Amino acid sequence: MSIFRLKNVNYKNIIRYPNIEIQQGCTTFISGESGSGKSTLLKLLNGITSPTSGEIFYLDKNITDYTTMDLRREILLVSQQSYLFDMSIRDNFQEYYAYRELENICNEQMQYFLKICAVDNQLDDNCNVMSGGERQRIFTAINLSFPSKVLMLDEPVSALDHKNANTLMSNIKTYCKEQKKKLIVVSHDKTLMDKYADEIINISKEKKNNE
């Protein structure tokens, strides 16, 4: 059964998406050259932006029929650009949970999610002195800890070395499987894709045919 289905989706007449279907319950990688609209696709799937024309279905219901904020929280997008506040890891969790109007999780839970994302810093460590890779992993951990049914990662390992990239992807995939979270990943890393993808959707080829 498909979780997402696109029908004649056109974004600002720049990107015309093929009528793709994304399957339920597996890890889906989205590939395509840069500029083919991978990141935009993720934003279209959870309604952060709307298509110029065409329809998108989530669980066989048009996404325009969902409440926008609920949809965005259910289908969580972890953007490529990570942003952390200039405070400790714990306070960053606190801040993001406040923005989400959720009760903050306890220290043990924070550590659990940080471990999944291969973060070995302490909760009191200040984020503003950390490297790009560390910040990216902490940001992913915070997002992973939010309740969601679909997790969309946009270039999750762009700032990470091979070892960390593998640990992170493998852990997240395992976690999502356990939690029955649908995982969608945009990555240009071919080896990562071959290793972790159950389903690969290429959007660039079709675009060329259409044009």
Partner 1 sequence: MNEVVALSIGQFSLIYLLLLIVLFVMKKSKIHQTKLLLVASLRMTVQLVLAGFILTYIFENPHPAFTIFYLLLMTGFAIYMILSRNKTINRNFKLIVALSLAGSGIAIVCFFIITVVGVSIFNPQYTIPIGGMIIGNAMTGVSLGLKTFDESIKAQHSKINTLINVGATPQKILIPFVNQSVETALLPTLYSMLSMGVISLPGMMTGQILSGTLPMTAIFYQIAIVIAITAVTCLAVFCSLYFGYKTLYNERNQFLLARR
Residues of the shown chain interacting with partner 1 in the complex, contacts defined by CB under 8 A:
47-50, 68-69, 72-73, 76-79, 81-83, 96, 99-101, 143, 146
CA angle 117, 138, 135 (to 5 degrees): 120
d(CA 97, CA 121): 20
Q: Which is nearer to partner 1, 66 or 206 (CB)?
A: 66
CA end-to-end distance (rounded Å), the chain: 30
- Whether the Cβ atoms of residue 210 and residue 204 lie closer than 8 Å to each other: no
* Phi/psi of residue 201, nearest 5 degrees: -115, 115
d(CA 72, CA 65): 13
Minimum distance from CB of 46 to partner 1 (Å)?
9
Minimum distance from CB of 153 to partner 1 (Å)?
11
Q: Which is nearer to partner 1, 99 or 161 (CB)?
A: 99
Minimum distance from CB of 192 to partner 1 (Å)?
21
Minimum distance from CB of 7 to partner 1 (Å)?
19
Q: Which is nearer to partner 1, 37 or 47 (CB)?
A: 47
